[in-house]
Amino acid sequence: MVAVKPAEINAVLNRPPDVPVVLVHGPDAGLVAERVGRLIKAVIDSDDDPFRLLRLDGDIVAADPMRLADEANTISLFGGKRAIVIRAGSKSIVPGLKPLLEAPPADALVIVQAGDLARTSPLRTLCERSRAALTVPCYADGPRELAALLDEVMAVHGLRLDSDARVHLLSLLGADRQTTRNELEKLALYARGANTVTIGDVDAVCGDAASLAVDSLVDGTFLGDLKRLDMDCSRLFADGNDPGVLVGFLLRHGLMLLSARSQMESGVPAGQALEKMRLHFKRKDAVDRQLGIWPAQDLLLVTGDLGQAVARCRQNPLMRREIARVAMWAVAMRAARHRARN
């Protein structure tokens, strides 16, 4: 069965269809773990029932493929459907899954938890082509998903964000779902007792070095600062940031610049276009300079290139760093040429 569409994922997680195998995979490890947890609770109403929940290492299943079928067909001691979670490892678990797809167990759901799988991966191919399996992709949260998560967490704690805090917070979050949720929970705890979360609260809790490095990378790239780009890129890669996600940040910023620059070329004053971007005050000067060197036509070209780079990062996970670096340098070199002409 093909991958679940983004708009349908919540419904599937709340009430999994009657299939024996669900593959949850993607570069956002935090989101993968969260969705696996939701599937478990949908099946057994808990996440720690030892009689109805079994966790297996993928390499163990790879070494003994028939064990999975035996476990899946074992009846729970106290009745009820069971959940079996397999964390995919370095070895293939396809031989263990095939018997379940051909002869589904009556009372078990096998949930495969995997990382970023290439489109041609045997595991992903098996599940996407089988009518007895479901695949749930987990990519980095976009603006809409981040906003929904932010509202969800703040509502639980009875808090609201003022408009500036909301815009600033959304610009800081998004690389990993679990990290994002943790940051939001920390912010809610920090603001406990207040009705409204301010931009000062956000800076105090979420304005960490990694977020500042991402902003520096984005601004350095669109200003054509090659030395700064190289330094920030190397640091963020070394810290474990997903290259595809970083290119996504560049794409989002490029689209914001394109919108503002198009307004300017239609007669809107530069200051007004800049204000509409709702940036943190510390970044306004850098972005103002970017708007001064980038024409809308070129921003349209580079955002198209960045979008393609994001797709290539997903399709070629082993080459993500190289793809990301080439895309970033292409933008920075173009910015440097514009700056030299101005």
Average pLDDT rounded to a whole number, residues 145-162? 92
H or E segment and range at residue 204 = helix 199-206
* Angle between helix 243-265 and helix 296-315 axes, rounded to 10 deg: 160
pLDDT confidence tier of residue 192, bands split at 50, 70 and 90: confident
> How close are the terminal C-alpha atoms of the chain, in Å?
54
Which residue, of 88, 111, 137, is where some domain finishes? 137
Quick: pLDDT tens for 81-94. Answer: 899 999 988 789 99
| Residue 160, strand partner residues | 196
pLDDT at 1: 66
Indicate whether 63 and 107 sit together in one domain: yes
Provide CB contacts within 8 A for 50, sequence distance 6+.
none
pLDDT at 175: 62
Q: Which domain CATH number covers 106?
A: 3.40.50.300
Indicate whether 253 and 269 sit together in one domain: yes
- Of all residues in the chain, what percent carry a pLDDT higher than 70? 96
pLDDT confidence tier of residue 281, bands split at 50, 70 and 90: low
Indicate whether 89 and 29 sit together in one domain: yes
Average pLDDT rounded to a whole number, residues 16-39? 90
Quick: pLDDT tens for 68-84. Answer: 999 999 888 777 889 99
Domain that residue 129 falls in: 6-137
The token pair at 289 is 């300079």
Indicate whether 168 and 251 sit together in one domain: no
Average pLDDT rounded to a whole number, residues 119-140? 91
- E strands along the chain, which residues? 21-25, 53-57, 82-87, 108-113, 133-137, 160-161, 196-197
Quick: pLDDT tens for 329-340. Answer: 999 999 999 887
Q: Which of 75-79, 241-245, 286-290, 325-329 has the lowest mean pLDDT?
A: 75-79
Indicate whether 11 and 58 sit together in one domain: yes
Asked whether residue 1 is domain-assigned, the answer is no
Residue 209 has pLDDT above 60, yes or no: no
Q: How many domains does the chain have?
A: 3
Residue 256 has pLDDT above 60, yes or no: yes
Indicate whether 324 and 336 sit together in one domain: yes
Which residue did the predictor score with more confidence, 272 or 162?
A: 162
Which residue did the predictor score with more confidence, 133 or 232?
A: 133
pLDDT confidence tier of residue 210, bands split at 50, 70 and 90: low
